[in-house]
Amino acid sequence: MATAERTYQNFINGKWVDASAAERRPDQNPADTREVLGEFPRSTVEDVRSAIDAAVAALPEWRRTSGPQRSAILHKAANLLEQRASEVGEALTLEEGKTIAEGVGEVMRGVAILRYYAGEPLRPFGENYQATNPTTFLYTEQVPLGVVGVITPWNFPAAIPIWKLAPCLAYGNVAVFKPAELTPLTAHLIVETLAEAGLPDGVLNMVQGPGSVVGNELATNPKVNGVTFTGSAEVGKQLYRVATDRGARVQLELGGKNPLIVADDASVDQAVELAISGAMRSTGQKCTATSRAIVVGRIADQFTDALVDRAKALKVGPGIDKENYMGPLVSEDARNRVLEYIDIGKREGATVRTGGEQLSGSDYDHGYFVAPTIFDNMKPEMRIAQEEIFGPVIGVIRVDSIEDAIKIANKVDYGLSASLATRDIGRAFEFIRQIEAGIVHVNSETAGAEPHVPFGGMKDSSSYSREQGRAAMEFFTQTKTVYLDMPSG
Ligand code: UN1
């Protein structure tokens, strides 16, 4: 297996530069940790400050570029990324672990997002109004927020950076991007592609390194006007306190505990497919993953048996191998955390119907593989039914009525996505009305997001803000109201 040959750098003011600290972090393949994909900087506060200063210096000119100019750059970035989709997708799979179909699919989603935001600067940026004085031209204009810190997680190392960076740049902002430490290579390739598309120096800067240093500086530095963050609730809430305390705008996308309610009239085959795909794709490491199957009445046994059979049949192994359905967890910590939750579930009295353990054997011994796990007899108050596990684990909760199912679905702190499998339109309407979730599905899985519509959660899943589609404009711009009158005399 190859060992690290290449060392990587930060991107500041249009140049690839070494971090000020000599210390580097190896980027390991979680399917086979003997493979190191590169060595990445562990940057210091000085590095972040120089990236912020470069962004500050680039802002006046960038914000004055025309919409069509910014549009052209984003179009070019989309085309360049499309040409590199298999290369970037492969890097993503090797460092994050998801399957190659998901890796390349995610990069293509990034391309679609870039194309959408390439169109944004060509759409309306404000509104005009009638004024009391009939000759006044009264209008609003959406102007950039300014310098934005972009902090992203490892689980969607291409799509999430792009869905934050593309609107950030499209609306005339400048960015300091801090990718997750576990997926620095995908971030590197994306920044390389965006830079090649012709962004002026300093408009996009990237600083690799730990959240406690790089993320913290972005949260505290008074020159940073806003911070957009996707990640854990714990880090997000801390960041929110620190950054809003100094008056910055903050956007959070946090966890989920997403339910799939299976009504007693549902197609069992369809419901099982939604549960498996929602729970096991990306090894369950999505904030939109399905982690609770709340099953109503008489079909519970049939559904659960079929779910268990389907989970047993899933092929698990390195994501780079096309025939595998599910790859490893992203890291040793992630694997240990999932195994710990499985233990907690057992101790709480839920029944493991399949999985529940780490996988061993030649394909598995150098990676962080856990078997697809189905808990039966999960009770709503159990920790495994309340807390985000972020792994290939789903629990079945059996209930007597759809009303109880919705009540239980809502009785968690999170409210990101939710799904109902049913053939009954009345039940669908009731579910849509009652469910506390930012993203609601009927007969489709809880995960997934179209690039051109708002994405975000209720309750503890976000900060009441939405990303993607036109909703992104609310975070990345501020409103200027203009009263334009004729000079008198
Ligand atoms: C998806 O379900 O495809 O971090 C997107 C996450 C979410 C994105 C999910 N912010 O998992």
Q: Which two tokens stand for residue 231?
A: 């990640």
Residue whose token pair is 């975000």 = 456
Q: Nearest C-alpha to atom 6 of ligand 1 is from which residue? A: 287
Q: Which residues contact 55 (CB under 8 A, 6 or more apart)?
A: 147, 174, 175, 176, 202, 203, 205, 223
Atom 3 of ligand 1, residue of closest alpha carbon: 448
Instruction: Respond yes or no: is residue 287 known to be catalytic.
Output: yes
* pTM assigned to the model: 0.97
Angle at 27 (CA atoms; ends 152, 29), nearest 5 degrees: 100
Record the tokens describing residue 161, joined without a space: 């950076």
Q: How far is CA 336 from CA 164, 165, 330, 346, in A?
A: 30, 32, 11, 15
340 is catalytic: no
Are 92 and 98 in contact by the 8 Å Cβ rule? The answer is yes
- Percent of the chain topping pLDDT 90: 98
Asked whether the beta carbons of 270 and 421 are under 8 A apart, the reply is yes
CA of 100 to the centre of ligand 1 (A): 17
Question: Token digits for 150?
Answer: 């972009």
283, HSE (Cβ side, Cα atoms, 13 Å): 32
DSSP string across 105-133: HHHHHHHHHHHHHHHGGGS----EE--SS
Place of tokens 């989970």: 311
User: In 65-99, which ranges are continuous DSSP H helix?
Assistant: 67-83, 85-96
Query: Which ligand 1 atom is at minimum distance from the Cα of 109?
Result: 3
DSSP state, residue 211? I
Structure tokens that stand for 226 in this block:
């806003």
Distance CA 454, CA 62 (A): 26
Instruction: Please tell me which residue in 253, 388, 445, 467 is annotated as part of the active site.
Output: 253
How far apart CA 56 and CA 60 sit, in angstroms, is 8
199: left (phi over 0), alpha (psi -120 to 50) or beta: beta
pLDDT per residue, tens digit, the chain (489 aa), is: 444 469 999 999 999 999 999 899 999 999 999 999 999 999 999 999 999 999 999 999 999 999 999 999 999 999 999 999 999 999 999 999 999 999 999 999 999 999 999 999 999 999 999 999 999 999 999 999 999 999 999 999 999 999 999 999 999 999 999 999 999 999 999 999 999 999 999 999 999 999 999 999 999 999 999 999 999 999 999 999 999 999 999 999 999 999 999 999 999 999 999 999 999 999 999 999 999 999 999 999 999 999 999 999 999 999 999 999 999 999 999 999 999 999 999 999 999 999 999 999 988 999 999 999 999 999 999 999 999 999 999 999 999 999 999 999 999 999 999 999 999 999 999 999 999 999 999 999 999 999 999 999 999 999 999 999 999 999 999 999 999 999 988
Whether residue 105 has its Cβ less than 6 Å from ligand 1: no
Quote the DSSP letter at residue 395: E
Per-residue buried b or exposed e for 179-194, using 16+ beta carbons within 10 Å of the residue's own CB: bbbbbbbbbbbbbbbb
Cβ distance 292 to 258 under 8 Å? yes
Output the CA 447–ligand 1 centroid distance in Å. Answer: 7
Per the structure block, which two tokens stand in for 36? 């190191």
Neighbours of 448 (CB within 10 A): 16
Per-residue pLDDT of 178-234, as tens digits, reads: 999 999 999 999 999 999 999 999 999 999 999 999 999 999 999 999 999 999 999
287 lines ligand 1 (CB under 6 A): yes
- In the chain the domains, ranked by start, together with CATH numbers, are 10-254+462-481 (3.40.605.10), 258-442 (3.40.309.10)
Count Cβ atoms below 10 Å from residue 158 Cβ, excluding itself: 30
